[in-house]
Structure 1
């Protein structure tokens, strides 16, 4: 399975598909969080991300959705608010994400949840309003509306995973994770570069089994380099939520082996391994 193009006549429908899955994933996490609003112990329970409790995880999602909406509006010509965010980030490039997440999460639970709901809706509206083919600024390369929605899905799914682990809840895999898997495949070159390693030229065939049992594929069928296994395990690896040794992924070839060692689909410097932040 490959993702359709994100420019041209079909771009709007692809964006709607990703936004629909993003809202479904967000709603599933919100349903788990609402009962914690009156449980200070649960709301402040530490998660696998060092220094972040459940409230910080939600605060981070809220802040990032807010900022992504500003970036979308900057692409549409209203750049003042986005420029202010970039200026603040330049003042503390190593700590601004942590600071923003901690500040956004340091509020009553009901307020944080309400702000996140508003931020999600605001971002979806801003992305839908972007003209086709428009690329929006970000802290890395500029992104299309669909790419941003996919990135927001990846982060939402990843932080929902951290929250579930903090609460001792069982995973609930759905085929919505295809967006995370796709991003993981697309960022193979970035992962090597982020680790200071040359990007191999060899193509890699990826064959994953979805939670539904469907088969998802990327890359040439005749590629010698191959990665196979459960899609859920692949998503845990590319978001660095699990070490390779804990996953049922099979790499064939030296490039595929090396890729699974450095796999990373989130922006920024190399993560610290299991529990690293997206």
Structure 2
């Protein structure tokens, strides 16, 4: 991370961003018919309905953090025979909801996520949240949640208007830069007026913000020309 971009999140409100992406998804889900729910998403192996199942299921973890009950969450995974870390948990969340009427899953997600967003906002940006990785700032965790929701909104094809596309790409780029620094990535990143300059392993590129975002969330097409070393170094949110 360069000196020019030490605080890429300055001026952003994580709670507003999380709310906006949740509303985007909710509005999109409300308009789907059976064919729309069964359509493949951009998330490998998941339909649009599966993405909803994932979002609903992960609220179990979100609430465990808010309730300071990570031990209880871990015990639940053991009882259910869920292994494989978060990937295994995510697949379990999807599988167990595939036989549930989609309207019930949608109501579950709305209820549980609405509670998560309300409680996170009430705690405030500087409060510490218990997580698997230890205590972590609520604001930072909310940025992670907002980024994930934006990624899944794109995965299912939720519309983004022309008026909001540029600003949305830039806040997501700023979150990506923050997470790369947080993870001590090998990638050097500088946010500039012309795009995002990245450097790692002797390779450098000036990327448009949307391309940088897609790299950080692991959604670049296989045939994208970005240097493979840079692609690997930039992936931090998926």
Q: Same fold (TM over 0.5)?
A: yes
**Which of 129, 141, 149 is the equivalent residue of 1:148?**
141
**Which of 53, 56, 59 is the equivalent residue of 1:59?**
53
Counterpart residue number, 1:187: 179
1:122 Cα deviation from its structure 2 partner:
0.5
Whether the 8 Å CA contact 1:134–1:144 is kept in 2: the answer is yes
Structure 2: distance between partners of 1:114 and 1:92: 24
Give the structure-2-normalised TM-score.
Answer: 0.76
C-alpha spacing 1:22/1:204, structure 2 compared with 1 (3 Å) = closer
1:134 Cα deviation from its structure 2 partner:
3.1
1:101 has 2:99 as partner: no
1:112 Cα deviation from its structure 2 partner:
2.0
1:24 has 2:50 as partner: no
C-alpha spacing 1:118/1:170, structure 2 compared with 1 (3 Å) = closer
Moved more, 83-92 or 115-124: 83-92
C-alpha spacing 1:98/1:179, structure 2 compared with 1 (3 Å) = farther
C-alpha spacing 1:139/1:227, structure 2 compared with 1 (3 Å) = farther
Structure 2: distance between partners of 1:33 and 1:225: 41
C-alpha spacing 1:177/1:102, structure 2 compared with 1 (3 Å) = farther
Matches for 1:3-82 after TM superposition, within 5 Å: 3-4=9-10, 17-36=13-32, 39-74=33-68, 79=69, 82=70
C-alpha distance after superposition, 1:97-134 (max 9, x if no partner): 21012324542222222222212220122213336643
Give the structure-1-normalised TM-score.
Answer: 0.66
Structure 2: distance between partners of 1:170 and 1:120: 20
Whether the 8 Å CA contact 1:73–1:126 is kept in 2: the answer is no
**Which of 99, 104, 113 is the equivalent residue of 2:106?**
113
Whether the 8 Å CA contact 1:43–1:55 is kept in 2: the answer is yes
C-alpha distance after superposition, 1:214-265 (max 9, x if no partner): x77899xxxx986422211111111111147537x7x8xxxxx734333222
C-alpha distance after superposition, 1:163-189 (max 9, x if no partner): 11xxxx776535234443223223336
Structure 2: distance between partners of 1:87 and 1:118: 24
1:20 Cα deviation from its structure 2 partner:
1.3
C-alpha spacing 1:218/1:241, structure 2 compared with 1 (3 Å) = closer
Matched pairs, number: 222
Corresponding residue SS for 1:265: coil
C-alpha spacing 1:151/1:132, structure 2 compared with 1 (3 Å) = closer
Whether the 8 Å CA contact 1:65–1:152 is kept in 2: the answer is no
**Gap runs ≥5 in structure 2:** none
Q: Which has the higher contact order (CA 8 A, sep 6+)?
A: 2
Counterpart residue number, 1:236: 214
Counterpart residue number, 1:88: 76
**Which of 177, 192, 196 is the equivalent residue of 1:207?**
192
Structure 2: distance between partners of 1:208 and 1:93: 44
Whether the 8 Å CA contact 1:58–1:105 is kept in 2: the answer is no
